[in-house]
Amino acid sequence: MSRIERGDVVIVNLEPTSGSETRGISRPCLVVSPEELNRIFRGVIVCPITDAKHLKRSELGLTWLPEGEGGLSKDSLVVAFQIRMIDKRRITHKTGIIDDKYLEEVEESLKAVLDIN
């Protein structure tokens, strides 16, 4: 697999999950860990991406991505409050990379969710 970078949209096997964790055998996720960590460690930090209709774009920890962004096939939401570390072996392939303006919005969502000023 090619190099994994911050801002990449990757397809990930998130199973097994528990409780209210985002489910899906193959689910798009956004890589949010910095390149320095991605090069050194066997894992990466990701936020799941969903098209869940019940979530509102204005909710804390959600960032809207339009269809086509990062190779996504439909309008989607990055779920910052479901951030998690995964082993790179869970990644099946990369679909694309998101524009910096969306990555900045995700970073702001992460700061809000983690209460980082």
Domains of the chain, by residue range, sit at: 8-114
The answer to whether the pTM exceeds 0.85 is yes
Q: Whose CA is closest to 43, among 91, 85, 13?
A: 85
Query: Tens of pLDDT along the chain (117 residues)?
Result: 678 999 999 999 877 665 655 556 789 999 999 999 999 999 999 999 998 777 666 678 899 999 999 999 999 999 999 999 999 999 999 999 999 999 999 999 999 999 997
What whole-number distance in Å separates Cα of residue 1 and Cα of residue 80? Answer: 25
User: Which CATH number is 8-114 given?
Assistant: 2.30.30.110
What whole-number distance in Å separates Cα of residue 85 and Cα of residue 58? Answer: 25
Please report which helix (H) or strand (E) contains residue 30, including its range.
Answer: strand 27-31
